[in-house]
Amino acid sequence: MRLDAPGSERFLQSHSLGMSFAGGEANVAVALAHWGLTSRLVSKVPAHDLGTACLQAYRQHGVDTSFVARGGPRLGIFFVENGTTQRGPQVIYDRAGSSFTEVSPNDFDWPRIIEGANWFHFTGTAPALGLQVNAALREALEHCRRHGITVSFDVSYRSALWSVEEAGETFRKLLPFVDVLIGSEQDARQFFGVDLSNDSKSTPETREASLRALQSEHGFRAILFSDRTVSDIGHHFFAASLLMGEPSLVQDGGKQHPVVVHTPSVEIIPVDRIGTGDALAAGLIRGLLLGHSPQATLNFALAAAVLKHTIPGDFALASVAEINHFASGQPLTRIRR
């Protein structure tokens, strides 16, 4: 459950909170379903009305929630103070003891869940939620491997949940199951040992070098690195680079692999930056599932993420047509009537 202080109010001023439901993996599922792909959510929410309201929120966009277990004590909550310009967003997490952290092996019937599936996506916040979630995740990943289901992993490190060391150790154990990695140069340096002695500034060139180094060591089928810088006044500059490790996933006209493609950096004045990484991930997954070219895939993913910044809430509620329009370099800034 996401609870938002209104407008640019501080928590200290608010007397009501916007209520919505969101989460990294759920955001990806919603974006894919909204774009017409079939997506299923695997999670656990309490049996009370707020748990039902949570499922409604995903179901309205077409996500299949029939495999979400019901029970346990509570919904995880995060409180969002959106901020503005010089004062960026502040998030207070309140998810200790949520129903999802208490999943048990019996909650999920993996054979039925993955029946007919060809992609499995998870983020780095799931393994941060404790042993039970990790056990369930591990079980899922083994099922995926057995059935040849592509696995994507969005690093999404949250320092409020665990240390870099703890996260790194856990992440590295998961890597053998991962086909598609989504992260940043900093993630590569912090968690996966890619230290090219560059300074902290990320450019297409540094990203390409890091991507190739990471790929040569771990052999992913695809890696997406994004880079976000924020100006003093709070404008964002967002760019991404994609490495395709092998020719099988996309149309690439017979290029020699690994191929690396880039986007230019896009200036953004964000309305809501939460969920933009999930929009990027969903855009990547869609392009890879549909066999688009690396550049088209990356452009779509970046456009989805950029447009997400203009939409309140976690969900990337832009249509394929709108995203393609934007990705093709045509603005959506004019009035459409």
Out of 3, 117, 209, 289, the residue judged to bind a copy of itself by CB under 8 A: 3
Cβ-contact 215, 192 below 8 angstroms: no
- Asked if 91 interacts with a copy of itself (CB under 8 A), we say yes
Distance CA 138, CA 253 (A): 36
Verify binding: residue 311, a copy of itself, rule CB under 8 A: yes
Residue 334 contacts a copy of itself per CB under 8 A: yes
**Tokens found for residue 50:** 């707020």
Q: Per CB under 8 A, does 130 bind a copy of itself?
A: no
**For residue 44, which amino acid is it?**
K
Instruction: Select 62 or 71, whichever has its Cβ closest to a copy of itself.
Output: 62
Binding to a copy of itself by residue 60, rule CB under 8 A? yes
Among 42, 167, 306, 327, binds a copy of itself (CB under 8 A): 306
**Which CB, 250 or 274, lies closer to a copy of itself?**
274
Nearer to a copy of itself, 156 or 297 (CB): 156
Which C-beta is closer to a copy of itself: that of 140 or that of 306?
Answer: 306
Site for a copy of itself in 35-54 (CB under 8 A): 48-50, 52-53
3-class SS of residue 1: coil
- Cα separation, 279 vs 306, whole angstroms: 9
Q: Is 83 in the site for a copy of itself (CB under 8 A)?
A: yes
Q: Is 246 helix (H, G, I), strand (E, B) or coil?
A: coil
Spatial contact of 158 and 194, defined as CB atoms under 8 Å apart? no
Residue 164 binds to a copy of itself (criterion: CB under 8 A): no
Q: Kind of pairing, strands 2-4 and 77-81?
A: parallel
Return the residues of window 197-236 that contact a copy of itself according to CB under 8 A: 230-234
Q: Of 181, 155, 152, nearest to 167 (Cα)? A: 155
Distances (CA, A) of 278 to 86, 164, 254, 315, 320: 24, 21, 30, 9, 16
List the one residue from 36, 115, 160, 255 that touches a copy of itself (CB under 8 A): 160
Touching a copy of itself, residues 257-276 (CB under 8 A): 266-269, 271, 273-274
